[in-house]
Amino acid sequence: MTSYNAAFQDIPGTTVFDATQSRLGYHLNMFCMSLMKPDNRAAFKADERSYLERFAMSVEQREAVLARDYNRMIALGGNIYFLAKIGATDGFSFQNLASKMTGMPEDAYKAMMVAGGRPPKGNRSKSDPAR
């Protein structure tokens, strides 16, 4: 029998936020949650590198935050609900972050959504013949 977590591996372009990711990303997500407070947002903006020192994050996680590399942050345990607080601190919407993660210009991403979004065909399973 396929385990609960292994079963998710078949879904393309998706990192399911399971125990492995949650343990890996705990302090990265803690940093994100700190951005709910205006004073913390101001402190982060004033000096990002030293603000990140307050959290027990890995070097790779810090560099991914500084580079605003959202796919890398997700690979290192970030959860999008929390990572979006970095984007909002930068003045960006969820849609802008999605365009970054999909490697599409924001206009092209918005146009795809207005046209009905990314379709299920070819995007449900890695074994989908339509891929």
Partner 1 sequence: MATIVGTIMTSHVPAIGGAIAKGRQSDPYWKPFFDGYPPVRAWLDRVKPDVAVAFFQDHGLNFFLDKLPTFAVGAAPEYPNADEGWGIPTLKPVKGDPALSWHIINTLVADEFDITMCQQMQIDHALSLPLALLWPGGGDWPIRVVPITMNHVQHPLPSPKRSWKLGESVGRAVQSWDSDARVLVLGTGGLSHQLDGERAGFINKPFDLMCMDALVNDPQKLTRYSALDLVREAGAQGTELMAWIAARGATPGRVTKVHSNYHVPISNTAAGLLVLQNEDAALPKAA
Min CB(1)–partner 1 separation in Å = 13
Nearer to partner 1, 62 or 77 (CB): 77
Q: At what angle do helices 59-66 and 26-34 cross, to 10 degrees?
A: 40
For residue 68, the 8-state DSSP code is T
Q: Does 26 bind partner 1 (CB under 8 A)?
A: yes
Burial tier of 6 (Cβ tally within 10 Å: 0-12, 13-18, 19+): exposed
Q: Does 111 bind partner 1 (CB under 8 A)?
A: no
Tokens of 85: 């607080």
Which residue in the set 55, 58, 101, 106 belongs to the binding site for partner 1 (CB under 8 A)? 101
Q: Does 58 bind partner 1 (CB under 8 A)?
A: no
Min CB(49)–partner 1 separation in Å = 20
For residue 39, the 8-state DSSP code is H
| Residues contacting 70, CB < 8 A, separation 6+ | 78, 83, 87, 97, 100, 101
Q: Does 61 bind partner 1 (CB under 8 A)?
A: no
Q: Does 119 bind partner 1 (CB under 8 A)?
A: yes
Q: Does 76 bind partner 1 (CB under 8 A)?
A: no
Q: Choose one: 45-53, 59-67, 68-76; the region binding partner 1 (CB under 8 A).
A: 68-76
